[in-house]
Amino acid sequence: MTSMTRRGVLAGAVASAAAVGLAGTAAALPPATIAARRKFFGSRNVDPRTGRVRADRVVISWFGCTSYAVAFAGRVMLLDAWVPRGAHSGYVPTTVAEVAALRPFAIFIGHGHFDHARDAGDLARLSGATVVGTAEHCAQAARQAGAPIRTRAVGAESDPYGTHRRFRARKLRVSAIRHPHSAIKAPDVTDPHAPLVPLPDLSTNLAHPPSLCDLLDTVGHAGDAEGGVLLYQFRFRGFRLLWHDSVGPLIEDAPTLPALIRSLPRSDVHLGAVQGFGQLTNGMRDVRSYVQAARAPLFVPGHHDDWGVPVVSTQAGGYRAALEAELARIPAADRPRLRWMEDPAHYLRPRRLTFRL
């Protein structure tokens, strides 16, 4: 009896030591984090025991507008911070709590409008991630959080367009470049385009009616300030990811920016906003400015989904023909392949945007 008990105690002690060792060396993450990472990044990319994402891939998971969860060489981060809601509820199949459970190390903010940054403060508070953006984006996130959060300012709204800041975030080399928000300009007579106005379509809102809570939340943040706009390039082991969450009139307002973007190491993947105020007079002209400057072999559109109220936004299909026609204006040798993304089918579909390092 005694020896049996001793053996039992010993076995228990060995098991506990193994568990502690596992937690210590492999850093097993909480079950909610493992579940969220498997949902966002795919079960084949996430270790079911530790929650670690494989280090030899870049896995990108779109969760609406220009918000992405990215596992870059195993490092989890967010680009923008908004789970679209307010004009609808439950259309994007996740929640702020679930995105926070991903345990990102950083949240990169392109600009401060609600459809990009409304959830930055809450996500940082819940996850411990560092908010990276202009000083204004950081201050806004800290106010939203209502509690101390980590922030890292890379410039300010007052920086002139073309201000280029380089820094490191974990293993990644990062460039952040100040560029203009989308804006309406006079029709460009040298490059005429038909106006692009989304047709009012209530189908998303009727199929996924908004809760009062989501509606009030979005109304309450509708006036959130821009705080400057940043374009980012992330580089690691020869892989480069370019991302910008607005598409400004470079031709009129930042004519030196294409050369600056072109001077970056050539990007492998370009995630770019395609919706913007410029489309009302110049169609997709401004999108082409960014695509031609980036020279990436693959272009992935964003901000073209049904993130808002009718007329402000429509489902992605409303943009496809205009985008394809615009890309067709680029000489074939320089034209990227289009990785089409549409809502809601491609939300949280990491297999569409998984790349080898």
Minimum separation from the CB atom of position 111 to Zn ion (A)? 5
Minimum separation from the CB atom of position 116 to Zn ion (A)? 6
**C-alpha neighbours within 13 Å on the C-beta side of residue 247:** 29
The DSSP line for 160-199 is PTT-EEEEEETTEEEEEEE-PPP------TTS------PP
Of the two residues 210 and 276, which places its CB atom closer to Zn ion in the complex? 276
Q: What does the alpha-carbon distance between residue 163 and residue 157 come to, in Å, rounded to a whole number?
A: 10
Of the two residues 84 and 155, which places its CB atom closer to Zn ion in the complex? 84
Minimum separation from the CB atom of position 82 to Zn ion (A)? 9
Of the two residues 115 and 326, which places its CB atom closer to Zn ion in the complex? 115
Task: Kindly state the DSSP code that residue 211 receives in the 8-state scheme.
Answer: P
Are 167 and 174 spatial neighbours (Cβ–Cβ below 8 Å)? yes
Q: What does the alpha-carbon distance between residue 63 and residue 291 come to, in Å, rounded to a whole number?
A: 22
Q: What does the alpha-carbon distance between residue 64 and residue 164 come to, in Å, rounded to a whole number?
A: 27
Could you list the residues that contact Zn ion (CB under 5 A)?
Answer: 113, 115
Of the two residues 270 and 303, which places its CB atom closer to Zn ion in the complex? 303
Q: Which residue is nearest to Zn ion (CB)?
A: 113
Q: What does the alpha-carbon distance between residue 129 and residue 108 come to, in Å, rounded to a whole number?
A: 10
Of the two residues 72 and 91, which places its CB atom closer to Zn ion in the complex? 91
- At a CB cut-off of 8 Å and minimum separation 6, what does 226 contact? 111, 112, 113, 157, 181
Minimum separation from the CB atom of position 113 to Zn ion (A)? 3
For the chain, list the strands marked E by DSSP: 57-62, 68-72, 75-79, 106-108, 130-133, 150-153, 164-169, 172-178, 230-236, 239-244, 269-273, 298-302, 337-338, 354-356
Minimum separation from the CB atom of position 263 to Zn ion (A)? 26
Pull the structure tokens for residue 242.
Answer: 């370019």
Q: What does the alpha-carbon distance between residue 225 and residue 299 come to, in Å, rounded to a whole number?
A: 28
Of the two residues 223 and 331, which places its CB atom closer to Zn ion in the complex? 223
Of the two residues 82 and 239, which places its CB atom closer to Zn ion in the complex? 82
Minimum separation from the CB atom of position 44 to Zn ion (A)? 32
Minimum separation from the CB atom of position 307 to Zn ion (A)? 8
Minimum separation from the CB atom of position 114 to Zn ion (A)? 8
Minimum separation from the CB atom of position 57 to Zn ion (A)? 28
Of the two residues 98 and 115, which places its CB atom closer to Zn ion in the complex? 115
Q: What does the alpha-carbon distance between residue 296 and residue 327 come to, in Å, rounded to a whole number?
A: 13
Of the two residues 42 and 198, which places its CB atom closer to Zn ion in the complex? 198
Name the burial class of residue 334, with classes exposed (0-12), middle (13-18) and buried (19+) by CB atoms within 10 angstroms of its CB.
exposed
Q: What does the alpha-carbon distance between residue 109 and residue 245 come to, in Å, rounded to a whole number?
A: 9
